[in-house]
């Protein structure tokens, strides 16, 4: 059996493009991967095809050796574009390997530690600009069975214009969300790198009475030492890692104790092969993993198989508003019940894709968003 063809398929989904990769063999077997990147998706697609010569004609078995071959194909290795392309291909190769052997991917990773995965509703409370709306949206998350949800309360422009007022307003909405969610649900706060080390502490203190489960990326990720210092001062756990692309980039923040929850992205951090190593590294520092999971169904399934097979899994992100579309796209949709996702039992990732569902969602260039720069004042 040899790798005969690598195809890419791109579709616009509300706020970004989903990029699927299909790795096919000369015997008709194929695997699905995903490399959906918010931004330069055409560059990712080009990188996928630039990696083709490394793989075409090769036996598809052994995703680890193919990962090494792709990583060392160029002297200038790494970066979000290349690593996302590698991630898409790596996921497809794991899917292929599972199908070839007739077992789920998590069996190839050593077997599951758990048969279902706790999930949280991400990008929740969108448009909830009053306490009443925040309260109602929080109650809706609980009604759907979620024991946790995440929302983004901070607006960079409002923070620039009136920082104290913006934080006070966000805390008011957080109070309403806590009342709606009840005492047991976890509420995670997406900061989106909009804060500074100083304003992050102010915001965390304002939010403390409402028990935020974490502050996600409170400051830009590039300076690990700054994140380490912030976690030492912040009265809330820091969650970070979605933009850290390898075990080498994760090492510094783990060694310094710069986060309490690590969030590697199985698409962007070069696939299952690399993120598995990142999770093992996190486990040596007793840091739980909550995978960043912003993509389509293949991203979701790859994250699920990995999360099932690691001991330090904490909770899995779920783009709840896109669940219906992901389910329609999958021949075997992910089963969700009472706040938990049930592991698939089929070979490979456990599904095929019906791309006809997306025929009306042609690729669109990614809109350029406004500045979300941190506030250094």
Q: What would the two tokens of residue 113 be?
A: 């530690």
Residue 374 confidence (pLDDT): 45
| Mean pLDDT score, 77-81 | 86
Give CA separation, 178 vs 165, 183, 203, 227, 303, in Å: 20, 7, 16, 27, 28
What is the tally of helices (H) and strands (E) in the chain? 14, 12
pLDDT digit string, tens, across residues 154-212: 999 999 999 999 999 999 999 999 999 999 999 999 999 999 999 999 999 999 999 99
Residue 78 confidence (pLDDT): 80
* Inter-residue contact 235 to 215 (CB < 8 Å): no
* pLDDT score of 376 more than 50: no
**Hey, what domains does the chain have and what are their CATH numbers?**
3-104 (3.30.390.10), 107-348 (3.20.20.120)
Residue 372 confidence (pLDDT): 44
* Inter-residue contact 94 to 306 (CB < 8 Å): no
Of 20, 32, 19, the residue nearest 91 (C-alpha): 32
pLDDT digit string, tens, across residues 302-357: 999 999 999 999 999 999 999 999 999 999 999 999 899 999 999 999 999 999 99
* pLDDT score of 371 more than 80: no
| Mean pLDDT score, 44-50 | 96
* Inter-residue contact 117 to 334 (CB < 8 Å): no
Residue 44 confidence (pLDDT): 95
* Inter-residue contact 278 to 99 (CB < 8 Å): no
* Inter-residue contact 10 to 330 (CB < 8 Å): no
pLDDT digit string, tens, across residues 119-144: 999 999 988 999 999 999 999 999 99
Q: Rounded to the nearest 5 degrees, what angle is found at the Cα of 99, between the Cα atoms of 57 and 56? A: 10
Enumerate residues 6+ apart whose C-beta is below 8 A from 50. 85
User: Cα separation of 23 and 2, whole Å?
Assistant: 10
Residue 366 confidence (pLDDT): 81
Helices 80-101 and 272-284, axial angle in degrees (round to 10): 100
pLDDT digit string, tens, across residues 285-305: 999 999 999 999 999 999 999
User: Cα separation of 293 and 359, whole Å?
Assistant: 24
User: Cα separation of 62 and 70, whole Å?
Assistant: 13
Mean pLDDT of the chain: 94
pLDDT band at 369 (very low <50, low <70, confident <90, very high): low
pLDDT band at 111 (very low <50, low <70, confident <90, very high): very high
Residue 370 confidence (pLDDT): 53
User: Cα separation of 106 and 6, whole Å?
Assistant: 24
| Mean pLDDT score, 66-74 | 92
* Inter-residue contact 228 to 287 (CB < 8 Å): no
* pLDDT score of 221 more than 60: yes
Residue 153 half-sphere exposure toward CB, CA atoms < 13 A: 32
Buried b (16+ CB within 10 A) or exposed e, 79-107: ebbbbbbbbbbbbbbbbbbbbbeebbbbb
pLDDT digit string, tens, across residues 93-103: 999 999 999 99
Residue 50 confidence (pLDDT): 95
């Amino acid at each position: 059996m040899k790798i005969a063809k690598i195809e890419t398929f791109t579709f616009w989904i509300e706020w970004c493009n989903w990029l699927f990769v299909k790795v096919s063999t000369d015997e008709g077997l194929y695997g699905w991967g995903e490399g959906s990147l918010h931004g330069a998706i055409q560059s990712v697609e080009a990188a996928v095809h630039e990696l083709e010569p490394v793989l075409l004609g090769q036996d598809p078995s052994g995703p680890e050796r193919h990962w090494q071959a792709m990583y060392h194909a160029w002297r200038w290795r790494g970066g979000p574009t290349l690593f996302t392309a590698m991630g898409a291909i790596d996921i497809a190769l794991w899917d292929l390997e599972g199908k070839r052997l007739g077992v789920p991917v998590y069996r190839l990773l050593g077997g599951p530690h758990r048969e279902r995965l706790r999930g949280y509703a991400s990008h929740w409370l969108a448009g909830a600009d009053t306490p009443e709306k925040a309260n109602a949206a929080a109650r809706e998350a609980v009604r759907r069975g979620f024991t946790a949800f995440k929302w983004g309360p901070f607006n960079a422009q409002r923070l620039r214009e009136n920082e104290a007022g913006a934080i006070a307003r966000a805390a008011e909405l957080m109070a309403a969300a806590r009342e709606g969610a009840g005492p047991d649900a976890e509420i995670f706060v997406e900061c989106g790198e909009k804060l500074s080390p100083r304003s992050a502490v102010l915001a965390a203190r304002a939010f403390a009475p409402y028990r935020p489960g974490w502050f996600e990326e409170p400051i830009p990720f590039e300076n690990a030492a700054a994140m380490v210092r912030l976690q030492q001062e912040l009265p809330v756990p820091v969650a970070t890692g979605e933009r850290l692309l390898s075990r080498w980039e994760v090492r510094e923040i783990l060694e310094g104790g710069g986060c309490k929850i690590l969030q590697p992205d199985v698409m962007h951090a070069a696939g299952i092969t690399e993120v598995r190593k990142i999770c093992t590294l996190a486990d040596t520092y007793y840091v739980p993993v909550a995978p960043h999971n912003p993509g389509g169904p293949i991203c979701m399934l790859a994250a699920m198989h990995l999360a099932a097979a690691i001991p330090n899994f904490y909770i899995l992100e779920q783009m709840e508003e896109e669940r219906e579309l992901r389910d329609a796209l999958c021949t075997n949709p992910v089963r969700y019940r009472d706040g938990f996702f049930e592991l698939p039992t089929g070979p490979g990732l456990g599904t095929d894709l019906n791309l006809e569902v997306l025929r009306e969602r042609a690729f669109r260039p990614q809109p350029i968003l406004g500045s979300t720069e941190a506030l250094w004042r």
